């Protein structure tokens, strides 16, 4: 009798059980996921979630090695023999390292990012690298989220059709960014898990659109060497998955903790204390995500319904907690109006060392800008036609003293606002709609931020979620909430809407 495998729903933990029970081998799993990529990345639904696929012979040989270790009773951990996809913002020698840029695509990486060894030691199989917003959204001003010159436009797997002409850069018809490919890949069954990076929304926004569990881990808790730097103390990596258990396990692995560090996870709300912001005060502006009639009513109603269910099942719920708005927090900076100016300063300091990890590529931001100008036919489209973010990095005149002063003020304001709410209401975490600036608050504070799937938009099938924030190093509390959420609202991540509703099940 054939084994029926639904790649849309299969979690890494479920795959591990199939491997452990001898119903599937890692070689089989790699073959299944590669076939899914071939079917729907550039063909079929044309999701454009993958920039490059690892050499087939190499990864099958690695799968065979891990299968043989399993036969001998040796496993490297709970993700032994499981395929994974990485955001193409990290340097790898055996696959192209592009950050979505042709200027980097032409070169050759000298080293692997440190995390490659960590994943290999844990028994994972890196099968592909995911498309991104080019240079982690650090190339231009309001380029379409999920677009890169090398990878093209990543699509939201839950939304049918192309992005409308004239849509804002975080349009509800898109995947959001910059870790768009990593999210789409998991939602489309290209792998059970993936990794993204986030400076300000790059993991959690795509997770919300794709209906996945995900987390931006505490900045500084994961080795970032070999990753395009955003801003130290602000950015970090984090996993995407279809289950809270998978997110918790992969988080522990990349934080160099025991794989079961965050386990066991809660399945009830007993002892958990949650604060919900007033959703009407947390909206993304219409020039960033277009306003659609009825959408806010749907999301607000879903938030209220979820909080009521949680309260009825033993959780402590405080509604409309008075968290300072992003504008109030950002106003604490004495010298700058936009947090992005802090990021430009840091990138100006750190990118030369990052670019030096390649041979045959521009070695300075100035050279990269000139390369793009000289290869405009490759690097620009009529829609995505500027590199103003790169120019802001080049032109930053901020001093270290100014940077330190503004970071200190911003961080104190963000953390003060969060802890005032946590302390005043005696709660563990704060939840806010995904279409908001909660990701900015988390970045400013240097705190982890998780994603909880909440539903799918009536108007086009895009996912929407709640974002959950906790203090630095307190990922365990987010995972407990995430797991209780998964046990309570399983339908939120199981719905197959829009384009992705096609039958992705395969017989093996």
In contact, 181 and 154? CB cutoff 8 Å? yes
Task: Of 250, 227, 212, give the one whose Cα is nearest residue 114.
Answer: 227
Residue holding tokens 């390649």?
358
Distance between CA atoms of 222 and 220, rounded to whole angstroms? 6
HEC-encoded secondary structure of 427-490: CCEEEEECCCCHHHHHHHHCCCEEEEEEEECCCCCCEEEEEEECCCCCHHHHHHHHHHHHHHCC
Task: Of 186, 258, 226, give the one whose Cα is nearest residue 451.
Answer: 186
178 carries an active-site annotation: yes
Residues 6+ apart with CB under 8 A from 21: none
Task: Of 109, 110, 154, 112, give the one whose Cα is nearest residue 130.
Answer: 154
Residue holding tokens 């009830």?
268
Selected catalytic residue, list 87, 216, 348, 477 = 87
Selected catalytic residue, list 178, 221, 244, 251 = 178
Task: Of 2, 51, 157, give the one whose Cα is nearest residue 504.
Answer: 157
Task: Of 287, 236, 217, give the one whose Cα is nearest residue 478.
Answer: 217
How many Cβ atoms are within 10 Å of 61's Cβ, its own excluded? 12
Residues 6+ apart with CB under 8 A from 397: none
26 carries an active-site annotation: no
Task: Of 105, 437, 97, give the one whose Cα is nearest residue 281.
Answer: 437
Selected catalytic residue, list 191, 202, 436, 483 = 202
Tell me the CA distances in angstroms from 138 to 200, 281, 372, 423, one per residue in order: 12, 28, 14, 36
Bond preceding residue 264 cis, omega within 30 of 0: yes
Return the CA Rg of the chain: 21
191 carries an active-site annotation: no
Residue holding tokens 């340097």?
91
Residues catalogued as catalytic:
87, 178, 202
């Amino acid at each position: 009798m054939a084994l029926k495998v639904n790649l849309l729903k299969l979690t890494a933990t479920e795959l591990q059980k199939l491997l452990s029970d001898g119903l599937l081998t890692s070689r089989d799993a790699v073959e299944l996921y590669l076939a899914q990529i071939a079917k729907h990345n550039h063909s079929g639904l044309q999701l454009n979630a993958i920039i490059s696929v690892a050499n087939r012979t190499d990864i099958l040989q690695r799968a065979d090695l891990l299968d043989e270790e399993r036969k001998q009773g040796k496993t490297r951990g709970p993700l032994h023999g499981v395929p994974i996809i990485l955001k193409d913002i990290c340097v790898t020698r055996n696959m192209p390292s592009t950050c979505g840029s042709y200027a980097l695509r032409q070169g050759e990486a000298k080293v692997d990012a440190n995390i490659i060894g960590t994943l290999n030691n844990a028994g994972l199989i890196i099968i592909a690298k995911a498309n991104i917003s080019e240079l982690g959204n650090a190339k231009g001003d309001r380029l379409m989220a999920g677009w890169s010159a090398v990878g093209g436009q990543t699509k939201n797997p839950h939304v049918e059709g192309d992005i409308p002409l004239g849509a804002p850069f975080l349009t509800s018809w898109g995947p959001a960014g910059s870790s768009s490919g990593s999210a789409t890949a998991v939602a489309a069954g290209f792998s059970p898990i993936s990794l993204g990076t986030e400076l300000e929304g790059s993991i959690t926004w795509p997770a919300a659109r794709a209906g996945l569990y995900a987390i931006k881990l505490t900045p500084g808790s994961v080795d970032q060497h070999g990753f395009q730097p955003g801003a130290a103390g602000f950015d970090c990596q984090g996993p995407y998955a279809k289950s809270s258990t998978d997110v918790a396990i992969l988080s522990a692995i990349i934080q160099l903790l025991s794989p079961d560090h965050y386990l066991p996870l809660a399945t009830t709300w007993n002892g958990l204390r949650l604060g919900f912001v007033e959703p009407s005060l947390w909206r993304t502006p219409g020039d960033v995500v277009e306003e659609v009639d009825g959408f806010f009513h749907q999301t607000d109603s879903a938030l209220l319904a979820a909080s009521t269910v949680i309260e009825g099942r033993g959780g402590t719920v405080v509604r409309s907690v008075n968290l300072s708005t992003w504008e109030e927090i950002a106003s604490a900076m004495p010298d700058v109006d936009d947090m992005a100016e802090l990021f430009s300063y840091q990138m100006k300091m750190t990118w030369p060392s990052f670019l030096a990890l390649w041979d045959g590529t521009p070695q300075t931001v100035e050279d990269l800008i000139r390369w793009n100008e000289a290869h405009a036919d490759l690097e620009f489209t009529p829609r995505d036609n500027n590199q103003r973010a790169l120019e802001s990095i080049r032109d930053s005149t901020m001093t270290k003293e100014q940077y330190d002063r503004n970071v200190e003020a911003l961080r104190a304001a963000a953390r003060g606002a969060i802890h005032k709410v946590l302390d005043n209401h005696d709660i563990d975490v704060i939840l806010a709609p995904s279409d908001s600036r909660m990701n900015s608050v988390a970045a400013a504070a240097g705190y982890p931020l998780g994603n909880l799937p909440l539903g799918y938009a009536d108007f086009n099938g895009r996912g929407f979620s709640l974002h959950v924030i906790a203090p630095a190093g307190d990922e365990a509390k987010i995972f407990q909430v995430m797991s209780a959420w998964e046990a309570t609202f399983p339908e939120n991540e199981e719905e197959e809407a829009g384009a992705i509703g096609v039958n992705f099940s395969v017989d093996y």
